[in-house]
């Protein structure tokens, strides 16, 4: 006979019998319920979530089960534990995660050691998704998307050229002026003004020559080797919400990836 877990909203969720529990541990089910609350916006980025004791009472499970669920969410950078303060919803506005998806670092420093990038937003316009853009964003060919282009410079030297595509409906009202005037990271803008939080990304990396005007924007010789990074960023529910193609100069920077 199956047990039940309270969701805290007047309903219950069936828990598998002990024989099947190995395939769906109880803490994983609690993790899913917490994740559902994050998806629904019950707790916003930067806000504290209820204590382990409160969540244990809400879901009618042990505090240890809740702790294990929260530990996994913290490992996945969805929650942040702060000693003596509680557990918070992770946000791209925090200094320690601002460079989570930016892996290009200076040869003589660490991510963020150069200070904030100088951003030059070249364009942000509404267009129609080509077949490859639609496929990456799980849209239909011809669906409306926003296409933005910007250059990131450090110490006055252009280092990164980015072409960005976003589904138009969730980002209605996004303009080049709005991108240029926002002082924080772009992903923090998506969180605070469009309620879209990118929680993970997949990247493809290859070498490409500086052509098609990229050499002028990055101020390098035509044909100079660039590191091309294509990134698809996903929300809580694994929904692709951004396609970003970045072209990186590597004469003074390198791509750093920490494996564990």
Q: Does residue 85 share a domain with residue 99?
A: no
Last residue within a domain, chosen from 89, 122, 140 = 89
CB 233 within 8 A of CB 101: yes
CATH of the domain at 189: 3.40.1410.10
DSSP state of 48: B
Euclidean distance between CA atoms 125 and 148, whole angstroms? 6
Q: Is residue 114 a part of any domain in this protein? A: yes
Q: Does residue 154 share a domain with residue 114?
A: yes
Q: Does residue 190 share a domain with residue 232?
A: yes
pLDDT at 58: 94
Q: Is residue 83 a part of any domain in this protein? A: yes
Q: Does residue 112 share a domain with residue 218?
A: yes
Q: Does residue 170 share a domain with residue 115?
A: yes
Q: Is residue 181 a part of any domain in this protein? A: yes
Q: What is the pLDDT of residues 92-146, one digit of tens each?
A: 765 544 445 667 888 887 766 777 788 999 999 999 999 999 999 999 999 999 9
CATH of the domain at 15: 1.10.10.10
How many domains, the chain?
A: 2
Q: Does residue 16 share a domain with residue 55?
A: yes
Q: Is residue 133 a part of any domain in this protein? A: yes
pLDDT at 112: 66
Q: Does residue 174 share a domain with residue 114?
A: yes
Euclidean distance between CA atoms 149 and 55, whole angstroms? 43
Q: Is residue 260 a part of any domain in this protein? A: no
Q: Does residue 208 share a domain with residue 178?
A: yes
| Residue ranges in the chain modelled with pLDDT below 50 | 1-3, 11-22, 96-99
Q: Does residue 179 share a domain with residue 155?
A: yes
Q: Does residue 107 share a domain with residue 20?
A: no
Can you give the residue range of the structural domain that contains 10? 3-89
pLDDT at 22: 46
User: What pTM was estimated for this model as a whole?
Assistant: 0.76
pLDDT at 171: 96
pLDDT at 229: 94
Last residue within a domain, chosen from 37, 69, 89 = 89
Cβ contacts of 1 within 8 Å, gap of 6 or more: 17
Last residue within a domain, chosen from 25, 60, 89 = 89
Q: Does residue 187 share a domain with residue 76?
A: no
State CA 218 to chain mean position distance.
25
Q: Does residue 251 share a domain with residue 129?
A: yes
Q: Exposure of 53 by Cβ count < 10 A (0-12 exposed, 13-18 middle, 19+ buried)?
A: exposed
**Residue whose structure tokens are 């395939």:** 23
Tokens of 116: 């904030």
Tokens of 226: 């660039």
State CA 174 to chain mean position distance.
18
Distances in Å between the alpha carbon of 156 and those of 9, 115, 202? 53, 12, 29
pLDDT at 98: 44
């Amino acid at each position: 006979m199956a047990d039940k877990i309270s969701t805290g909203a007047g309903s219950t969720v069936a828990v598998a019998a002990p024989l099947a529990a190995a395939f769906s541990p109880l803490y994983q089910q609690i993790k899913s319920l917490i994740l559902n609350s994050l998806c629904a916006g019950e707790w916003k980025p930067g806000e504290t979530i209820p204590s382990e004791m409160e969540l244990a009472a809400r879901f009618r499970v042990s505090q240890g089960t809740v702790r294990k669920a929260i530990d996994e969410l913290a490992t996945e950078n969805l929650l942040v534990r702060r000693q003596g303060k509680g557990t918070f919803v992770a946000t791209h506005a925090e200094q320690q995660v601002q460079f989570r998806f930016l892996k290009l670092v200076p040869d003589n420093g660490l991510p963020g050691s150069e200070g904030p990038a100088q951003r030059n937003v070249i364009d942000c316009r509404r267009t129609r998704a080509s077949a490859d853009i639609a496929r990456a964003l799980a849209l239909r060919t011809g669906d409306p998307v926003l296409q933005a282009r910007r250059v990131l410079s450090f110490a006055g030297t252009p280092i990164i050229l980015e072409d960005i595509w976003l589904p138009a409906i969730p980002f209605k009202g996004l303009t080049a002026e709005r991108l240029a005037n926002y002082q924080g990271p772009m992903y923090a803008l998506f969180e605070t003004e469009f309620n879209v939080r990118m929680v993970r990304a997949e990247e493809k990396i290859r070498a490409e020559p500086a052509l098609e005007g990229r050499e002028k924007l990055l101020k390098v010789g035509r044909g100079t080797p660039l590191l091309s990074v294509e990134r698809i960023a996903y929300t809580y529910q694994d929904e692709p919400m951004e396609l970003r193609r970045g072209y990186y100069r590597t004469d003074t920077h390198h791509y750093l990836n920490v494996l564990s």
